[in-house]
Structure 1
Amino acid sequence: MDTQTLIYLVVGGTFALYIAIALWTRAGSTSEYYVASKGVHPIMNGMATGADWMSAASFISMAGIIAFAGYDGSVYLMGWTGGYVLLAMCLAPYLRKFGKFTVPDFVGARYYSQTARVVAVICVIFISFTYVAGQMRGVGIVFSRYLEVGINTGVIIGMAIVFFYSVLGGMKGITYTQVAQYCVMIFAYMLPAIYISMLITGNPIPQLGFGSEVTGTGQSVIERLNGLGAELGFTAYTDGSKSTVDVFFITFALMVGTAGLPHVIVRFFTTPTVRDARKSAGYALLFIAILYTTAPAVAAFARINLLTAVPSTAYAELPAWFKTWENAGLIAWMDKNDDGIVQYGPGAPFAGNPTFTGETGEVGQRLLSNEPTPAATELYVDRDIMVLANPEIAGLPGWVIAFIAAGGLAAALSTAAGLLLVISTSISHDLLKSNIKPNISEKGELLAARIAAGIAVVVAGLFGIYPPGFVAQVVAFAFGLAAASFFPAIVMGIFSKRMNKEGAIAGMAVGLTFTFSYIVYFKFINPTAGAADWWFGISPEGIGTLGMIFNFVVSVIVCKFTAPPPVEIQHLIEDIRIPRGAGAAIDH
């Protein structure tokens, strides 16, 4: 059976499984739609959390950015991993004990203010739509290559699938669908990693293969990478170009942004007890660690395979996988010196960003013109394809390639569904039910949530068709927004009895506005600006840390000059922090 047929069978089979689960677990009440009736087993919730957390950025893009950026790419690995530990150990049990449906629900109740709730809803929408743009972009990439359709068509297909099971099943349907998606995802990620580790180093464990010698060279994996890169003019794989300040700020923004991500936080509201929330956090950390400890090895192996297979090779002699990805618009080549040889090195191969149109149609999704730059390099490789293309570059069997396609889609769809659910519940529960129409029936609220999810799917699809960057970069912006808005409000809401509504509202507004404005200015209004133009040398990916600091400072100052919270709110905070984790959660 040929590879393309296998891809259709495996991808089609997983889609059928997801839809069947959605039909089986469809939500019939707002409790089922919002928090799966708080009845999810810790192991199941841990797997669902892992799928929700390991998005297209983790599965598709993280290893790709590490493969190209080397040391600089490690900020994503450190920030996302450390952030989940912070969330799971320090915040999740307290939030679960509070017993609310959503993060704006927590903010509104803790800060005894509908205004605070509305500000939190605005933050949710900003964060979630920024994040979901990366997921829909990932869906488009996978579809464009493996189902042989355009990226935009792939995004539309993904929209239809997410719409079906997120709108129908709500949190209940999404949870059990994500359990299946985690299994597909982790199998798809580990299988080629083990295969390629064996081929390159002879060691079947990728984490150990990463520190082993490349077969037949007498060099370690890192030495081999540095040597291949030096031959082509690249800096050493282990050298970084980012300043220490920027590395710290990006890593910290990703870390605290994780602890403020509403679609991850809401997963801890679905367990029966606080003890189960803690257990599910531990299981999720274990399930996530499987992929995250493998990603550096996958990145290194992918880079070795690419640098070995393509540079200084005649274009006519390149293998079929190169032409396939080129036709998908994710690899582009221009023969600048008319020698028919693919030259690859530092610098941009084309001028501008985002579309280069060649003789065969659209190639290079983020290239603006076919005018060559002065750089000698002739090859453009989209960073987001490295994990997906690696099995083909390594010559693995067709059934392995089919599973990597299914895994990439599972990663993007699982997180997209979680984000869309958060958006819809924030609109239906926190805006409509809690503010605009408090007397709405449960049936009406459920209908409003589904309509909001449908509209959110369409908007998310537009972001996927017109992405502001590559997947991991777009997701980094979402983490920055979360760090600057939600994290301080949640931390002070749990650990400070003195923090009041005026301080929290002012802090969230300042943090979100500053961070969003900074990102928009340096990414869209003045995209050519460099480190010399950034505040204190902090890139847009790391500015969320500064936004968080502004949030804390403004919150504390405003709090000092305004009235303290009511006595019942202070007692509520004490109740949340009393360690009664063995029993059922207390709803307030």
Structure 2
Amino acid sequence: MDELKLYTYIAVFSTFAVYFGIAWWARASSTSDFYAAGGGVGPIQNGMAIGADWMSAASFISMAGLIAFLGYGGSVFLMGWTGGYVLLAMCLAPYMRKHGKFTVPEFIGDRFYSDGARIVAIACLIIASVTYIIGQMKGVGVAFSRFLDLPYEVGLYVGMGVVFVYAVLGGMKGITYTQIAQYVVLISAYTIPAIFISLQLTGNPIPQIGLGSTLADGSGVFLLDRLDAVVTDLGFKEYTTAKLGNSLNMFAYTLSLMIGTAGLPHVIMRFFTVPSVQAARASAGYALVFIALLYTVAPAVGAMARFNLINTIEPVAGEQLEYEKRPQWFKDWEKTGLLKFEDKNGDGKIQYVADAEKNEMVTVDRDIMVLANPSIANLPNWVVALVAAGGLAAALSTAAGLLLAISSSISHDLMKSVLTPNMSEKKELLVGRITMTIAILFAGYLGLHPPGFAAGTVALAFGLAASSIFPALMMGIFSRTMSNKGAIAGMSSGIGVTMLYVFQHKGIMFIPGTSFLGDMSANWFFGISPEAFGVVGALVNFSVAFIVLKMGEPAPKEIEDMVDNFRSPHGEIKAAHDH
């Protein structure tokens, strides 16, 4: 066994052992533990758990890869996801925590005084969460297949097994404390290589500053200026000005990610695990700090990864690298199928240019950039192994949160609240665990047949949440009179029009091997891509809901009083965990 593989096995399986140990220690013994960790998690611990839940495979693996290839256009992910968290923390989470329910569908069912609204919310939650989880399972398979020399499928099965142990056994309690450990692993795995590479390229150990610094070669040229020159010489768009489609698409994409983020049920659920509204607000603040530690480093990681990739393949201006002399990292990633070379002109050299007819790098999967970056930069093997453990921690932590959201929506919101209200707590806990097991198996199946790559699929999930869940929550909190019929019509029309638009352009997202960006064609609605269409779906949701409200009866007086109560800054509503 070579040194890298040994380090990787140690890093990966030692972290798995920690996760298993925590799961056993924090195993759930009640529905309160299973759904909300007993409501006793402290603000700092919850902030770390939110950070891990938040920084999925898309954040850890794909976001910097997107920034590496899209340049400025990739900033929509940074702005959308971070802005959405602030929106969630300020406008939704404290009010929902004060209402004191376990889940998003439960809040919607109560606020809109309707099992119909609850069931529609469950359907929207499952559609968005299942779409989101595909990206996490893809991340697990990619990390395992590269670093442990396991087939993608086997890596996926191992990841499913790990999630099964700590999520099914521990529920929210086990997931919470496991995610605290996962946050420590993933943030270390993300920042340590970035420090090494920033020091290597610019002489500055702080990546955020290194990104705007001059190169360490004594030329006095700024890193971003050199990168702009290199990519334009190869025929690509200038790195620092490239857009994701037109300006309207950039705006819509950012806003769709932002409001989709604020409507993510698995993140909202985290605020039900703290003992009070004040603790919910505090944990939101801590989480923002923990999230910022990674998100402010991501632009540097993306830019430096692209710079190193090009310098490796094109070591001397005008002279391509001979394929037979390609570095070891190139050979390693070729084995995964995520990096492919085709000698189109028969000269035995690698030509990496923007012209698709001439570009012999026929596949450079964006998802490999963060994981390959330490190897491209010739960092020590233990750093490479740490990145593998971090990528798995990011994917597994979010997958667990999503699986719990799906499980609780079925066992608690559908079975317990609608179909079998007399179900005992013991039986509800059993149903929750069975449902989560089924959800894991289904997620694994989707991971084996992913429709695109991780961040692309995730962007679509955010759009679905933006068009359905977010408007319902906003109207539920800030409109005292919004009726059940308005909410149901709004959610149904919002997610319906978004899914219709996506399937209309399914060649962009749902055929394996097609480009994530697809063809920025005139066939799109005002140039808005399917992944950015969630904001249009949200506008449809709001519009339909208020039209239906005007045509019918407003919410009854007791519902208006309930809204006034959980919006009031005075008093505290006892958490529903205690039932």
TM-score class, shorter-chain normalisation, is: over 0.9
Task: Tell me if structure 1 keeps the 8 A contact 2:118–2:413.
Answer: yes
Aligned residues: 562
Where does the alignment leave 5 or more consecutive residues of structure 1 unmatched? 349-373
CA offsets per residue over residues 406-425 of structure 1, 9 Å max, x none? 00000000000000000000
Matched, 1:534 2:534: no
The whole-number CA distance in structure 1 between the counterparts of 2:505 and 2:242 is: 22
1:450 lines up with 2:433 in the alignment = yes
Summarize the alignment of residues 229-378 of structure 1 with structure 2, pairs less than 5 Å apart. Answer: 229-241=231-243, 242-311=245-314, 312-348=320-356, 374-378=357-361
How far 1:584 moved relative to its partner?
6.3
State the match for 1:209 in structure 2: 210
Q: Give the Cα–Cα distance (whole angstroms) in 2 for the partners of residues 497 and 77 of structure 1.
A: 33
Counterpart residue number, 1:222: 224
Q: Which moved more, 1:561-570 or 1:551-560?
A: 561-570
1:434 paired to 2:417: yes
Distance in 1 separating the partners of 2:481 and 2:93:
21
Partner of 1:549: 539
Larger CA deviation: 431-440 vs 231-240? 231-240
Match of 2:502 in 1: 519
In 2, Cα distance between the equivalents of 1:30 and 1:473? 35
Within-5 A mapping of 1:396-435: 396-435=379-418
Structure 1 residue 149, shift from structure 2 partner? 1.0
Distance in 2 between residues matched to 1:444 and 1:586, nearest whole Å? 22
Change (3 A) 1:128 1:343: same
User: Helix, strand or coil for the counterpart of 2:530?
Assistant: coil
Whole-angstrom CA distance in 2 between matches of 1:212 and 1:74? 19
C-alpha distance after superposition, 1:299-346 (max 9, x if no partner): 011011000001310011111110000001110000011111000111
TM-superposed deviation, 1:529: 5.6
Letter of the aligned partner of 1:147 in structure 2?
Answer: L
Q: Please say if residues 347 and 377 of structure 1, whose CA atoms lie closer than 8 Å, have aligned partners that are also in contact.
A: no
Assess if the C-alpha contact under 8 Å between 2:207 and 2:300 holds in 1: yes
Per the alignment, residue 38 of structure 2 pairs with 37
- The separation in 2 between residues aligned to 1:5 and 1:529, in whole angstroms, is 43
Distance in 2 between the 1:429 and 1:586 partners? Answer: 16
In the alignment, is the contact (CA less than 8 A) between 1:274 and 1:585 conserved in 2? no
Mapped to 1, the partners of 2:498 and 2:353 lie a distance apart of: 34
CA RMSD in angstroms comes to 1.4
Residue 586 of structure 1: how far off its partner (Å)? 5.4
3-state SS of 2:363 partner: strand
Alignment check: 8 A CA contact 1:50 1:284 kept:
yes
**Unmatched 5+ stretches in structure 2:** 315-319
CA contact (8 A) 2:351 2:358 kept: no
Alignment-derived partner of residue 317 in structure 2:
none
2:378 aligned to 367, 386, 395, which one? 395
Mapped contact 2:157–2:444 kept (Cα < 8 A):
yes
Change (3 A) 1:110 1:347: farther
Shift of 1:562: 1.1
Partners of 2:341 and 2:421 in 1: how far apart?
58
Output the amino acid matched with 1:339.
D
1:110 and 2:93 aligned: no
- How far apart, in 1, do the equivalents of 2:365 and 2:209 lie? 28
Structure 2 CA distance for aligned equivalents of residues 529 and 117 of structure 1? 38
Summarize deviations over 1:29-61 as a string: whole Å, max 9, x none.
Answer: 001000011100000000000000010000000
Distance between the aligned counterparts of 2:256 and 2:27, measured in 1?
36
Q: Distance in 1 between matches of 2:573 and 2:14?
A: 39
CA shift, 1:501, in A, is 0.3
Which amino acid in the other structure matches residue 195 of structure 1?
F
Residue pairs, 1:128-167, within 5 angstroms: 128-167=129-168
Give the Cα separation in 1 of the matches to 2:371 and 2:491: 38
Question: SS in structure 1 opposite 2:340?
Answer: strand
What SS is found at the alignment partner of 1:410? helix
Aligned partner of 1:21 in structure 2 is 22
1:494-545 Cα offsets, whole Å, 9 max, x none, are 0111101000000000001111121122124897664200111110011000
Q: Please name the residue that 1:57 is paired with.
A: 58
| Partner AA of 1:246 in structure 2 | N
Give yes or no for contact 2:99–2:573 (8 Å, CA) kept in 1.
no
| Equivalent position of 1:370 in the other structure | none
**Which residue identity lines up with residue 460 of structure 1 in the other structure?**
A
Which SS does the other structure have where 1:579 is aligned? Answer: coil
Aligned to 1:66: 67
- How far does residue 376 in structure 1 lie from its aligned partner after superposition? 3.8
Aligned partner of residue 505 in structure 2, secondary structure: helix
2:86 is matched with 85
Contact 2:341 2:360 in 1 (8 A): no
Once the two structures are TM-superposed, the CA of residue 347 in structure 1 deviates from its matched residue by 4.4
Separation in 2, partners of 1:315, 1:487: 50
- Offset, 1:231: 2.2
Aligned counterparts of 2:183 and 2:570: Cα–Cα separation in 1 = 31
- Structure 1 window deviating more from structure 2 (324-333 vs 375-384): it is 375-384
One-letter amino acid of the counterpart of residue 331, structure 1: L
Higher mean alpha-carbon deviation, 509-518 vs 281-290, is at 509-518
C-alpha distance in structure 1 between counterparts of 2:150 and 2:157, whole Å? 11
CA contact (8 A) 1:500 1:564 kept: yes
More divergent stretch after superposition (309-318 vs 489-498): 309-318
Mapped contact 1:165–1:173 kept (Cα < 8 A): yes
Deviates most, 278-287 or 458-467: 458-467
Distance in 2 (CA, whole Å) between partners of 1:541 and 1:220 is 33
1:559 aligned partner: 549
Amino acid aligned to 2:81: W
CA contact (8 A) 2:408 2:432 kept: yes
Return the offset for 1:463: 1.5
